[in-house]
Amino acid sequence: MEKKNISIAGAGLVGSLLSIYLAKRGHKVDVYEGRPDARKKNIGGGRSINLALSDRGLKALAGVGLDQKVLDKMSIPMYRRVMHDKEGNLSYQPYGKEGQAINSVSRSGLNAMLVEEAEANGVTIHFEQRCKAIDLESATARFENASGESQEVHADLLFGADGAYSAVRKAMVRTDRFSYSQEYIDHGYKELTIPPGANGEFMMEKNALHIWPRGNYMLIALPNPDASFTCTLFFPYEGNPSFSSLDSLAKARAFFDEQFADALALMPDFDEEWENNPNSSLMIVRCFPWTRNGKVALIGDASHAIVPFYGQGMNSGFEDCTALNRLMDQYGDDWAAMFKAYEIERKPDGDAIADLAMRNFVEMRDLTGDADFLLQKKIEAKFSKKYPTKWTPLYSLVTFSADVRYSEALALGKKQDGLMAEIMAMPNIHEIWDSEAVETKMLALAEKL
C-alpha cells in the first residue's frame, strides 16, 4: 500500500479518531485544529450537550482498541429513561434488554483521550490553526494562527472533520452541483446543572437518563462522573412558553417551579445559569456529494450534522470511520473509487439518522409522557425478549445493533409502526396486553417484517 500525506481539518472527536485509523495504516497524518489545545486551556462550557456513547461508537473505538478504555475510564452506563411528571412522580422505560445501556461520557474527556492516542500513534496535531481557504483540486489548505501567520499545506488527501460549520464544506458549497442544506429547527437549548449533594452523592438515580417530557418541550439530565447532572432544556425560541416569553428571571423561575419543580429544587445555581448560559440553536446539515476530485472528503458533522435527540451525533461520525476503514481495505490505493463508494454508502445512512433524530425528539418530549406509547414499547420489549430473532425494537436497532445500517433501521421501524398500530387497535389493549391473544397476533405480524 502506498503511504500518503494526509491532512485532516478538525481535531474534534471524529477527526482525532479518523487520524488514529489512518496512522495505524502507516500514513503520515497531520491534523489542524482551530481551537487551542484543551489540555492546556479550558474551553467552552454551557454548550456541550453530554454525549451518549452506544454500540456504533463503541464498535468504531474497538477498531483501534479503545472501546474498553473509554468504558472503564470515563463512562456512566444509563440503563433506562426515568420520566418525571409535573408532580415529581417517576416512571421508567428500559433502553434495551437487561444489561444494555447507553453511556454518558464527557465530550472534553473523550476528546482529550483521542488526541493523546493520536499523538501516541504518530499523528501530528497542530492547534490554533484556523482553516482560511481550501483548494479542492489540489487538496491544499491555508491555515492561520492567532497571530495572523498563515501556512499553505499541500497533501495527497484532505479530510474535512471540522464539524457542522465546516470550512472544507464551505469551499464545496461554492462549487457547481453541490447540494447543501442547513435547517434550523424551531427549538434551541440551554444548559443547567444539578450539582452533587453535600457528601458528593448523585441527587437523582445515577444510571439513568432523566426526562421531563412536556409536550412541545422537555428538560433532560445526564449523569457526570463528578456526581453532577448536566441538564438541558430543549425549548422553542418563539411562542408561549418559549425563550422569548420567559423574558425575565422571575418568569423563568416561576415557569420551572410549575413545570420542573423537582429539578429546580436541585439547582442551586439556577438564577446565575439561566442568566449567563446562552440559548443555543440546533441545526441539521445535509449535503452531497461528500467528496471532490478523489482527494477531499467530508466526515462526521461536516457531512451530516443532526439534532442530538437520538444520542447518535458522535456515534454516526464514528461509524463513518468504521465504514472508511472497511472501504480502505477493499479499495487499496484507489482512493478516488473508495471516496465514491464511501459517499454512496454513507449518504442514505446520514439522511436516515437525521430523520430518526427528529422523530426521537417528538418521542422524548411528548410520547414518553403518553400511556399508549409506553404500553406499545412494553409490548414490543416483552415480545422481543421472548422472540429475539423475530423483533428488535427500533431504538435497539439504532442504538444496540451496530451492524444494521441506519437506513435499514429507519425502514424497519416504519414497518413496525404500522404493525404495532394494529396491536394497539385491539379492544381493551391496556387490559389484555400481556395475554396470549396479543402474543399470537404479534407472531403473525412479525412474519411481515
Our CA angle for 8, 9, 10, nearest 5°, is 105
What is the Rg, in whole angstroms, of the alpha carbon atoms belonging to the chain? Answer: 23
- Within 8 A by CB and 6+ apart from 82, the residues are 90, 91, 92, 204, 205, 208, 209, 210, 211
Site membership for its own copies, residue 40 (CB under 8 A):
no
Question: Judged by CB, which is closer to its own copies: 46, or 77?
Answer: 46
Q: Which of 215-224 are b and which e, b meaning 16 or more Cβ less than 10 Å from the residue's Cβ?
A: eebbbbbbbb
Indicate which single residue of 184, 249, 334, 414 sits in contact with its own copies (rule: CB under 8 A): 184
Smallest separation (angstroms) from its own copies to the CB of 130: 15
- Binding residues for its own copies, total number by CB under 8 A: 13
Indicate which single residue of 85, 116, 183, 329 sits in contact with its own copies (rule: CB under 8 A): 183
Smallest separation (angstroms) from its own copies to the CB of 176: 5
Contact mark string toward its own copies, 331..360, x via CB under 8 A: ------------------------------
Site membership for its own copies, residue 389 (CB under 8 A):
no
Let me know: does 264 contact 270? Beta carbons within 8 Å.
yes
What is the footprint of its own copies within residues 241-300 (CB under 8 A)?
281, 286
Amino acid identity, position 43? I
Question: Judged by CB, which is closer to its own copies: 4, or 286?
Answer: 286
Smallest separation (angstroms) from its own copies to the CB of 273: 21
Indicate which single residue of 68, 182, 276, 293 sits in contact with its own copies (rule: CB under 8 A): 182
3-state class of 307 per DSSP? Answer: coil
Indicate which single residue of 42, 99, 177, 436 sits in contact with its own copies (rule: CB under 8 A): 177
Indicate which single residue of 124, 150, 151, 181 sits in contact with its own copies (rule: CB under 8 A): 181
Smallest separation (angstroms) from its own copies to the CB of 179: 5
Specify burial of residue 408 (Cβ count, 10 A radius: 0-12, 13-18, 19+): middle
Q: Of 50-58, 138-146, 172-180, 436-444, which segment contacts its own copies by CB under 8 A? A: 172-180
Cα dihedral 83→240→250→367 (10° resolution): 0
Question: Judged by CB, which is closer to its own copies: 126, or 170?
Answer: 170
Beta pairing class for 140-144 and 130-135:
antiparallel
Residue written as grid cell 472508511: 324
Give the distance, in angstroms, between the CA of residue 43 and the centroid of all CA atoms in the same chain: 20
Q: Which residues are near its own copies by CB under 8 A?
A: 173, 176-184, 237, 281, 286
